[in-house]
Amino acid sequence: MQTDVLVIGGGAAGLAAAIAAAEKGANVTLVESGTLGGTLVRRIDDSFGKQIFGEVMTGREYVRRFTDKLSLYPRIRVVKGVVTALGADKTAEIVSTDGCRVYKAKAVVLASGSRERTVGMLDVGGTHPAGIMTAGAALKAMNVDGRRIGTRAVVIGSGESGLTAARRLTLEGVKVECVTERMPYSACTPDMKVYCLDDYRIPLLLSAEVSEIRGDVRVREVVILRSGGEEQTVRCDLVVVAAGRMPLSALYGFIKPGAKGIETDSHCMTCSAGFFICGNALHVRSGADNVSEEGRIAGGYAAEYALKRRIAEKAYWLTPTGNVSALWPQRIVAGEGATVAVRVNRPIRSACLAFKDGTGKTVMRKEKLTMIPGDETRIYLDAEDVTQNLYVVAEENL
Amino acid sequence: MKEMTCAACPKGCKLRVDSDLYEVSVSGNECAVGRDYAVGEYTNPVRTATFNVRVRGGSAAVVSAITARPISLVKILPASRLLKKLYVDAPIKEGQVLFSSLLGEKIIATSSVGKVEKYE
């Protein structure tokens, strides 16, 4: 079957990409294996939509806004199925309830999201009995299936998903004994810590690692290793793993990644022409709004590529240096402004982000930023600011 | 005296709040927003809370719900415990009022649940 734009994944990024591509007049095929909205349908807390819709809403309401809009476009065909293979010639093999079909697309938007790290990927010893689940699985069990999953829990990881899971567990009647964090600082924004942990008096153990999970059939206790080498045993029957997520990249092995994963230009196009990537499939973020915003960019330019073969002729590179661990997009299309997301490798309370040229001269500075490793800092660059390759460095204001 | 982390912006200033009979004093804040936040948190912290409410005869086991306005923080856990004992009947439409006065607060559904007819 033929289509202009093939969008793989119907989450926050894919929905926005499909709508944006259809708005430009392209015929769109959206493939989603589960329910439209992806992991957002598990999120019943109200922390979405501030940037995109200007009001705060729950994850489900956020998805509803997008699916309502999606149904207005007859150009979008939603396929409930799984992409089992994707070729560099933009053909995709899709297995759905009505069989296996091969789709030929003119442009592909990869919005397949991320997968959670499981306990097997952590360095945790012990017997690994029943009662260990990821934060996403715990949220799904409680919010979608309405199950009670334990009585006393330990949460590994203080990122956004760990804190959300800790709060939901508490409200569902599960006592959260503690949240452990490997690093000496919390991976989330201070407001999340207040709203999810401090409000419910859940202790956050920094520089602490779960080293062992014990139990015969069900989890009985965990051993937490603190920074000084002391060990602490906590009785619990549930371990929730929220140790971060990784982009799902099994499909697009033929796209050559850079040092820090796949690199894109500010149109979200990868180095393979016609393949666009957006959302958590590109890099993992906490909020859905930025993901949808990126999806909108990717969908729009994918439609332009599919219909008019328009690609960016020239782009300038942005290179992270010093405390800046990564940034997206890595290439800024010449003559256009772009929003750049910057991540740092340690918290800087009063930071200044400097953009320098090859000789070390500062071209542009952004002052008074608070940067934390758990969340990206977004900065809008004007077209006039970027006229050459730039190096990005985060400096501390004293 | 109470110590807290400011949640008004990503900076997360460490605030100290104290009060006498006449006024609430705040220190540690770097801006005016932080002062207002601290006074609010000191006098009556409020949050918009979200819950799962069990559904009888529906296509889903639970429906997600939200308080109609930010409610006092001390009410959230009692409300969640109370909700564990309560049911609502399907069908439920998004925006429907599930409980008009649960501890004095209105609870509204944030998703829709269809009805399942049982043939026995």
> Which domains are present in chain A?
2-115+246-308 (3.50.50.60), 118-243 (3.50.50.60), 315-396 (2.60.40)
* B-chain residues near A193 (CB < 8 A): 5, 7, 12
Considering the domain boundaries, does residue B116 fall inside one? no
Residue B11 has a pLDDT of 78
Q: What is the pLDDT of residues A284-315, one digit of tens each?
A: 887 899 999 999 999 999 999 999 988 888 89
Q: Flag whether B82 is in a domain.
A: yes
Contact residues for A68 (Cβ-Cβ < 8 A; gap 6+) = none
Distance in angstroms (rounded) separating the CA atoms of residues A132 and A119: 8
Say whether both B30 and B54 belong to one domain.
no
Both B35 and B76 in one domain: the answer is: no
Residue A13's contacts (CB-CB under 8 Å, 6 or more residues apart) are A111, A113, A278, A279, A280, A281, A291, A292, A294, A295, A298
Asked whether residue B118 is domain-assigned, the answer is: no
Q: Is residue B23 part of a domain?
A: yes
> Is the Cβ of B98 closer than 8 Å to some Cβ of chain A?
no
Coil, strand, or helix at residue A18? Answer: helix
pLDDT at A364 > cutoff 90:
no
Chain A contact for B80 (CB, 8 A cutoff): yes
| Domain extent for B31 | 2-43
Residues B79 and B28 in one domain: no
Segment B72-89 shows an average pLDDT of 94
Output the average pLDDT for chain A.
Answer: 91
Pair (B105, B54) in one structural domain: yes
The string of DSSP letters for A178-217 reads EEE-SSSS-SS-HHHHHHHTGGGT--EETT-EEEEEE-SS
One domain, residues B63 and B23: no
Which of chain A's residues have a Cβ under 8 Å away from the Cβ of B6? 190
Query: Which of the four pLDDT bands, split at 50, 70 and 90, describes residue A386?
Result: confident
Q: Which of A333, A334, A344, A336 is nearest to A378 (CA)?
A: A344
Å from B62 to nearest chain A CA? 5
> Could you tell me if B47 lies within 8 Å of chain A, comparing CB atoms?
yes
Minimal CA–CA distance to A199: which of B72, B108, B16, B30? B72
Beta strand residue intervals within chain B, DSSP E: 2-5, 14-19, 24-27, 46-47, 50-56, 62-67, 71-72, 87-89, 97-102, 105-109
Q: Is residue B119 part of a domain?
A: no
Both B37 and B59 in one domain: the answer is: no
Residues of B in contact with A370 (CB under 8 A): 9-12
For residues A142-155, give the mean pLDDT.
Answer: 94
pTM of this prediction exceeds 0.90: yes
Which of A45, A57, A190 is nearest residue B6 as measured by Cβ atoms? A190
Please check the confidence at residue A221 and state whether its pLDDT lies above 60: yes
Q: Determine contact, residues A74/A81, Cβ cutoff 8 Å.
A: no
> How many CB pairs (< 8 A) connect A and B?
91
Residue A354: which H helix or E strand, with range? strand A348-356
A46 touches chain B (CB under 8 A): yes
Share of chain A above pLDDT 70, in %: 100
Residues B37, B81 within the same domain: no
**Using a CB-CB distance cutoff of 8 angstroms, which residues of chain B are in contact with residue A164?**
none
Inside any domain, residue B117: no
CATH code where residue B85 lies? 3.10.530.10
The minimum CA-CA distance between B20 and chain A, rounded to whole Å, is 24
Do B39 and B55 sit in the same domain of this protein?
no
Please list every residue in chain A whose beta carbon sits closer than 8 Å to the beta carbon of residue B64. 44, 58, 60, 143
Residues B88, B71 share a domain: yes
Q: How many domains, chain B?
A: 2
Residue A79, strand partner residues: A31
Tell me whether residue B115 is in a domain: no
Residue B98 and residue B74 in one domain:
yes
Q: Does B5 touch chain A (CB under 8 A)?
A: yes
What pLDDT is recorded for position B119? Answer: 60
Contacts (Cβ under 8 Å, ≥6 apart) of B38: B4, B6, B15, B17, B24, B26, B29
Q: Do the Cβ atoms of A194 and B50 come within 8 Å?
A: no
Q: Is residue B96 part of a domain?
A: yes
pLDDT tier, A131 (very low <50, low <70, confident <90, very high otherwise):
very high
Alpha helices in chain A (DSSP H): 12-23, 59-70, 135-139, 160-171, 190-196, 289-308
The shortest C-alpha distance from A341 to chain B (Å) reads 16
CA distance A80 to chain B (A): 20
Q: Are residues B95 and B57 in the same domain?
A: yes
A194 reaches B (C-beta below 8 A): yes
B24 Cα to chain A: minimum distance (Å):
21
Of A50 and A260, the one with more pLDDT: A50
The answer on B100 and B59 residing in a single domain is yes
